[in-house]
Amino acid sequence: MYSWRITKYNPLHRNEDGSYIDDKEWTSFSEIGSKVDKYEYLETEQKYIDAIISFMEELGLKKAYISDFEGKRDVLKNIKQELNLEEIKKVATLTLREVIWCKLTFHSKLFVHFGYDYYMYIGAYKDCPKARMKVEKSGLFVETYNSPYLD
């Protein structure tokens, strides 16, 4: 399984142990108005959602499943465990905004894990060079990295 860390954080700003060292960087939806303006936040959030869709498109997937859900189920009105692309976008938005937490999977072909401080991990059964290039062109960083949320 291939695995990547997708972030807005430039790897050049990491120390020897891999920790991000730019303390001016925003890390959460809750920082809108203090460390980030609403428009920059929404633009970045959309890039993360587009990243998920780019990997799914390269893998030929049109659905995923929620696993390891944490939060109030009523937040996901009319959303079942099996998600179509529009539902995936909604769930990703809610997760990035820390309303809920979950993992997205599609059997052994794909996983999407959301971490603290606006980290996202995507894994795929095959390399996805087109998706990686598209994500990098958007301004996000794609690093080969094993998700710390693997079971």
Residue type, 69: F
Q: Give a yes or no: residue 151 inside a domain.
A: no
For residue 38, the model assigns a pLDDT of 98
For residue 135, the model assigns a pLDDT of 98
Beta carbons of 64 and 93 less than 8 angstroms apart: no
Q: Give a yes or no: residue 122 inside a domain.
A: yes
The domain in which residue 134 lies consists of: 2-144
How high does pLDDT run on average in the chain? 94
Q: Give a yes or no: residue 23 inside a domain.
A: yes
Reading the block at residue 7, the tokens are 């972030």
How many domains is the chain built from? 1
Radius of gyration of the chain (CA): 15
Ranges 74-78, 113-117, 131-135: which has the least confidence: 74-78
Residue linked to tokens 């997937």: 61
Render pLDDT for 28-48 as a digit per residue (tens, 0 to 9): 999 999 999 999 999 999 999
Angle at 65 between CA 51 and CA 52, to 5 degrees: 0
For residue 7, the model assigns a pLDDT of 97
Q: Give a yes or no: residue 37 inside a domain.
A: yes
Q: 58 falls in which pLDDT band (50, 70, 90)?
A: very high
In this structure, is the dihedral angle defined by the CA atoms of residues 22, 27, 33 and 37, taken in order, positive or negative? positive
Q: Give a yes or no: residue 150 inside a domain.
A: no
Number of residues that this document lists for the chain: 151
- Who contacts 18 (Cβ-Cβ below 8 Å, separation ≥6)? none
Give the global pTM. 0.94
For residue 134, the model assigns a pLDDT of 98
Beta carbons of 90 and 79 less than 8 angstroms apart: yes
**Whole-angstrom Cα distance, residue 120 to residue 145?**
10
Render pLDDT for 61-113 as a digit per residue (tens, 0 to 9): 999 999 998 888 777 776 778 999 999 999 999 999 999 999 999 999 999 99
Q: Give a yes or no: residue 89 inside a domain.
A: yes
For residue 19, the model assigns a pLDDT of 87
Continuous H helices in the chain: 38-59, 85-96, 129-138
For residue 114, the model assigns a pLDDT of 97
